[in-house]
């Protein structure tokens, strides 16, 4: 759970997935005349270790994150973003995106754990420094079972592409903030229409 996941009321069981997908910020719009700075929270293995540790996902003595492990993590993030970038119906249909996500998920096997209390939980089969990232995969799985994953979407604005949680009742939101991203697109469409006419 992070400040942002709390601010945007992302359910705790999806918060690590939400944060991980948004650790890459590709927004490139200008707001009130100020260009937004793009950012990547994970530019090297040490940053990933810090990201995991900050969420209690880095076990003591788990060892170092090697460059190869770091690449594995970034690949998971890229495929998760592609998958979340599809609307929920397309996710079920787009075999290419699902197949690439599957390949990335292979590096994060999960095992059922009966020691979790009332219900069994999924935990990492890995035991190295990347094991904590399996929590993100377990959240993806659990969300797909209870239906909340369909509400985790990527903003439709090309210059935003931020992952957001759609709390609207019909679950039809397309923009992370309709007052910003939605309006920008509508204004552009309006201008384009009027260009065509005029
Ligand atoms: Zn947006």
Dist. CA 7 → ligand 1 center (Å): 15
Q: Give dist(CA 115, CA 30) in Å, integer.
A: 49
Dist. CA 61 → ligand 1 center (Å): 39
pLDDT at 87: 94
Dist. CA 186 → ligand 1 center (Å): 13
Q: Which residues of the chain have pLDDT under 70?
A: 1, 185-186, 190, 195-198
pLDDT at 198: 45
- Phi/psi at 100 (5° precision): -70, -35
Collapsing DSSP to helix, strand or coil, 180 comes out as: helix
Residue 56 CA to its chain's centroid (Å): 18
What number of CA atoms fall less than 13 Å from residue 13's CA on the CB side? 15
Dist. CA 158 → ligand 1 center (Å): 8
Domains of the chain in sequence order:
3-197 (1.10.3300)
Dist. CA 42 → ligand 1 center (Å): 21
pLDDT at 180: 78
pLDDT at 67: 97
Q: Give dist(CA 99, CA 79) in Å, integer.
A: 10
Q: Which residues surround ligand 1, an ion (CB under 5 A)?
A: 155, 157, 160, 162, 176, 181
CA angle 198, 160, 78 (to 5 degrees): 135
Q: What's the whole-model pTM score?
A: 0.90
Q: Give the pLDDT confidence of 58-74 residue by residue, as tens digits.
A: 988 899 999 999 999 99
Dist. CA 157 → ligand 1 center (Å): 6
């Amino acid at each position: 759970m992070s400040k942002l996941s709390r601010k945007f009321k992302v359910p705790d069981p999806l918060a690590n997935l939400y944060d991980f997908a948004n650790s890459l910020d590709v927004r490139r719009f200008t707001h009130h005349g100020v260009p937004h700075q793009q950012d990547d929270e994970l530019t090297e293995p040490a940053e990933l270790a810090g990201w995991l540790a900050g969420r209690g996902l880095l076990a003591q003595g788990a060892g170092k994150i090697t460059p190869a492990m770091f690449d594995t993590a970034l690949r998971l993030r890229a495929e998760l973003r592609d998958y979340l970038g599809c609307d929920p119906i397309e996710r079920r249909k787009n075999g290419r995106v699902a197949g690439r996500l599957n390949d990335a998920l292979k590096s994060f096997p999960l095992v059922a754990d009966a020691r979790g209390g009332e219900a069994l939980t999924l935990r990492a089969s890995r035991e190295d420094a990347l094991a904590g990232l399996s929590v993100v995969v377990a959240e993806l799985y659990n969300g797909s079972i209870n239906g909340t994953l369909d509400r985790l979407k990527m903003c439709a604005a090309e210059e935003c592409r931020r992952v957001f949680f759609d709390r609207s009742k019909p679950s039809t939101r397309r923009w992370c903030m309709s007052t910003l991203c939605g309006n920008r697109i509508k204004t552009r469409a309006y201008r384009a229409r009027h260009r065509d006419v005029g």
